[in-house]
Every structure is written in structure tokens, then in C-alpha cells.
Structure 1
């Protein structure tokens, strides 16, 4: 039987399996690799040296089912630029990069481009074995995990030395998979808790791929569980004027009782429609700026599953926070939750305009 084309094999891979492929590709180039799970997103970090001896670090974002929007791409590129990392996006299968999401310095890899890298580094046999295991394994314990997968994906010597003292306490991949399968039978929520405890489950893309296949059917059948709304007894905050001259002070304001989380796509498309609406969002600070007597922050907000949704401009009078009420400095990459009211659109430094929120309460999370 004729083997499928390598491009087709790459296109059929999941996010986690694609991460395993890139981990193998960059290890073959002499780089140290690490798989990172940021909420539902999977990244591969690779650190090494160029032929000229210069240090090089890249980060590849996998997407096989979702769309990388302009807002998500902007936030991803900003984080990479601040850390001195080259940003890549690998989009295969049902994953795609929106036409307006391309940014200077962002490298987008499709299935044909990835196939070229696989052949250049000589790891095609690993990719085909991984595909065969993913397509044919019924219990998640095929040869890809126990034979070639374990031999070729051995930890770096430095990691082995660091783990010598606790080697007896670590699970093998087969043991971890067996335990994860047991918890899957008990429910997806229990499995996720165990997954965070197990370092092996966290660090092994092949293992996550096998476990993901075992829980896919259960995940599709579980009903959505919604937490009951939290009642807050608080006054409604007042929006700031564009030319605010509020004094520099610390103000203790309670969270709005009627605050809601408007889906970001709706807020981004029609921010003026929601002007005056009390809202609350959680996310990560991307950039801050102080202008006259107003403090601004660009916040990459997340949905209820921790997925990056897009950016909002948060605004408040200088001195309202960071004194007695919350007691922390606002830094880049700080995780926060904010409450406030929608105030149309705004920008942090005269650039791209995003939905603006006049903040009344800000908490570190």
C-alpha cells in the first residue's frame, strides 16, 4: 500500500502531536527544546546557536483547529519581542491565520513548509511512526510511546542530572498514561487535576496526544457547567472623560453588581453599542503608559477557558491604585482582573484602537 504524502500526514496532526514533531525537528538541529502549555494553546520553545555562533531562541505556536486572529497574533508577537524570541505560528489541518493577522517578524508555517523542515532534519520516519500510532492505537500504548518515541526523545543530559535524586518518585510514560486513563474513566475534571500534578504528563507531547485521544469522546459529551453568578453590593462606577483631570488619589471602589463579560468578538466589533455597560475581564498586562493624570494599560483578556481573546485598553486616574487598596505594582505580564464600564474605543499610544474600559476596581490574580 502506498504511504500517504508527508504533507497530508502533517495536516492530520493535532496540536500536541505537531508539538512533538517540532520538538524532534529542533533537537535534530542541536537545539534544546521545551513544550509549553498555555491554557489550551501549545507552544514549543527552542534555544540554540546559529552557524555563526549567535544565540537563537524561537517560539512556535501550534494551531490545528482554531483561527489566529489579528488581536491574538499581536499579543503573541509582543510577548515574544519583549523576551527576544522569534515568533512562529504553525497552522495545519483546520487551523489558519486570519489574513489581517500577519505581523512583521511573525513566521507562518503551513503543512508543505513543515514537511520541508522534516525532510531537511531527517525525522520523517519519526513523524510517520507518530502518525501510525495516532491512527492505529486503541489504548494509547502503541509503539510510538514505548519504542522509538522513548529512545529518541530522551531528556537532555542536564535534565537527567537534575532529576537523579528524585528518579524513584517519577512515573514512567506508560505508568503515567495508565493512571491518566483511570482518572479519565472517573471524569474529565479529575483527569485534568491529575495531569497538572504529573510532570511527565505535562512535559511529554506524545503522552498528551495519547491521553487527548482517549478523552475526546468524553469531552464532547459532557454538558457545559456554569458557575452561579456572584452578587456584589456595590455602586456603579462612573466613566472618565477623555481629558480627565481627576486628582491623584487612591480610591476604594467596590466591584459593580451588574458586571458582565461581553464576548470579546462582539465588544471588538461594536464597542460603542456597549458604552456605559459594567463589565469584568481577566487577562495579562501587555503594556502600560501614564498620560497627564490618566494611567493606561493594554490588557490581553481571556475567555472563561483561559483562551486568549484579544486586547482592551484599561484606563483610570493616576494614583487610584497601587497604594493601600491592592498594594502591587502593575508590570508587564502581570495577571489581573478588572471591573469597569465600557467607554467606546481608545489606544494606548496613538496606534491601533481597541475597546476601552474605564476601570473602577483592579485586582491581581
Structure 2
């Protein structure tokens, strides 16, 4: 029977399987690689040197089920640029990159482009073995790969450049049962694991083992000194002072898609969001922060511009320094749209309370 096209094989892979593929591709080129899980997103990072000897770092964001929106792409590119990392997005299968999400410097990889990378790195046999193992995960021989190799198996029998089907499936199983176990124990849902009863069983065993050995930890009670809400204008002359204030009782987390589409319709609405600081600046006695807010599952939804008078929040009062990538929770009211430096306009929130979640 004719083997399926490599592009079809790539398109049928899950996020975790593609992570194993990219790790193999860049490992074959002499790069140090690692797989990172940022919420539900899977990233592969590679560090190495170019043929000319220059240091090179890259990060590949893998998606096979979701859509990379313009806001998410902007946040991803900014994080990579600050770290000096080349940003890549691999969108195959059910994953896609929105038409307005393309950014300068962002490399988008589809199935044909990934197939070329695989052939150039000489790891096509690994990818096909991985696909064969995944497609036969219900068989008796494949279930053994999730437990242990028999004494007669020799992973090097076919040569260093070709992995056995058993080793390829065990490689993917290691990612799911090991690297994802913490995320799965919290989220309790994973499309990757749902694809195979054997993988679900492996994760359940490891999650139960982990839960049985975690100590009981009593978290300290933290009392925050919070600021008093003040009217905010473009020409603020508020003094630099901070006093305690209760959070708004009627604050709500408006779904970001609705807020982004029509922010003016929510003007004056009390809101609260948790997210990560992308960028901060001061302008005309106004402090601004671009915050990538999270949805109810902890996934980054998009950016908002947080605004408050300079001096409203001091580091000693809020208990932490407001730095890039700092995770914060904010309360305030929607104030139409704004930008942090005259660029893209996002929903703007006049902040009255700020704390570390």
C-alpha cells in the first residue's frame, strides 16, 4: 500500500506530536530544544548556532485546533522580540492564523513548509513512525510502549537516524504523561489525551500518584493596601497618594471578543480582569500599561490599555513591582478605546484597584 503524503501525515498530528517532531528537527541540526506549556498552548524553543557561528534562538507556537488572532499574535511577537527570539507559528490541521494576524518578523509554517523542514533535517522516518504508532494506539503492541520496552528491544537496531515505532510512540507518551501532567491535573480536560484511552489511563495514574504525595500547604493571608478611585482625565493633576479602597462589587469580566468589537457600548461599565503586563509607560502624568487579559480558563484573549494617574500605585503599596510579564488583577471602568504609544487602539480601562493575584 502506498504510504500517505508527508504533508497529510503532518496535518494529522496533534500539538504534542508536532512538538516532538520540531524537537527532533532542530535537535538534528545541533540545537538544544525544549517543550514548554503556556496554559493550553504548546511552544518549542530551540537554541543553537547558525552555519556562520552566530547564536540563534527561536520559539515555535504550535496550534492544531485554535485560531491565532491579531491580538494573540501581537502579544506573542512582542514577548519574543523582548527576549531576542525569532517567533514562529505552526498552524496545521484545524489550526489557522487569522488573515489580519500576520506581523513583521513572524514566520508562519503550514503543513507543506513543515514537511520541507522535516526532509531537510533527515527525520522523515521518525515522523512516519510516530504517525504509525499513533494510528495503532489501540493495539496490544502499542499499549506496551506506554509501559516499558521489553528486554529484547534495541532502539538503536535500525541506526541512529531511524527510531523504531515503539520508541517513537513512547516519546510522544512521555510528553503527554510527563510534561502535561500538571496542566491536566488542573484543567482535567485535554484534547490530546482524549484521542487515546491508553494515554488517558497513563495520565490518570500519574496524576493520582502526584496528588497522593503533595503535602498540605497553608497559604499566608495577604492584606493589600489599595488605592482610592479618582476621576481620570488626559490632563491629570492628581497628587501622588494612595489610600485603601474596596473593589467594586458589581465588576464583571466582559468576554474579550465583545469588548474588543464594540468597546464604546460598554463605556462606564465596572470590569475586572486578570492578565499579564506586556508594556508600561508614563505620558503627561498618566501611567499606561498594555495588559494581555485571560479568559475564564487562563488563556490569553487579547490586549487592553490600563490607565491611571501617575502616583496612584506605589510598589510598596501594591506589594510588587509593575514589570513586563508580571501577572496582575485589575478593577476599573471601561473608557472606550486608547493606545499606549499612538499605535494600535485597544479597549481602555480606567483602573481604580490593582493587585497581584
TM-score by length of 1: 0.77
Say which of 301, 306, 309 aligns to 1:314.
306
CA distance in 1, matches of 2:187, 2:92: 29
CA distance in 2, matches of 1:131, 1:5: 12
Residue by residue over 1:324-350, the C-alpha shift from the partner in whole angstroms, topping out at 9 and shown as x without a partner, is 531322001111011111000000011
Displacement, 1:217?
A: 8.9
CA distance in 1, matches of 2:229, 2:19: 45
Other-structure match for 1:141: 143
Change (3 A) 1:64 1:307: same
Stretches of structure 2 that go unaligned for 5 or more consecutive residues are 157-169, 202-225
CA distance in 2, matches of 1:310, 1:295: 20
CA distance in 1, matches of 2:339, 2:118: 42
Secondary structure in 2 matching 1:73: helix
Other-structure match for 1:112: 112
Number of matched residues? 311
Residue by residue over 1:214-260, the C-alpha shift from the partner in whole angstroms, topping out at 9 and shown as x without a partner, is 39999xxxxxxxxxxxxxxx999555223322222223222110111
8 Å contact 1:33–1:45 — kept in the other structure? Answer: yes
Cα RMSD for the two superposed structures: 3.4
Change (3 A) 1:9 1:57: same
Other-structure match for 1:226: none
8 Å contact 1:239–1:276 — kept in the other structure? Answer: no
Other-structure match for 1:67: 67
Other-structure match for 1:338: 330
8 Å contact 1:237–1:341 — kept in the other structure? Answer: no
CA distance in 2, matches of 1:190, 1:37: 8
8 Å contact 2:227–2:244 — kept in the other structure? Answer: no
Other-structure match for 1:87: 87
CA distance in 1, matches of 2:101, 2:326: 24
Displacement, 1:26?
A: 0.3
* Equivalent residues in 2 for 1:28-43, closer than 5 Å: 28-43=28-43
Change (3 A) 1:190 1:84: closer
Stretches of structure 1 that go unaligned for 5 or more consecutive residues are 153-172, 182-187, 196-207, 219-233
Displacement, 1:138?
A: 2.1
Change (3 A) 1:194 1:67: closer
CA distance in 2, matches of 1:123, 1:56: 21
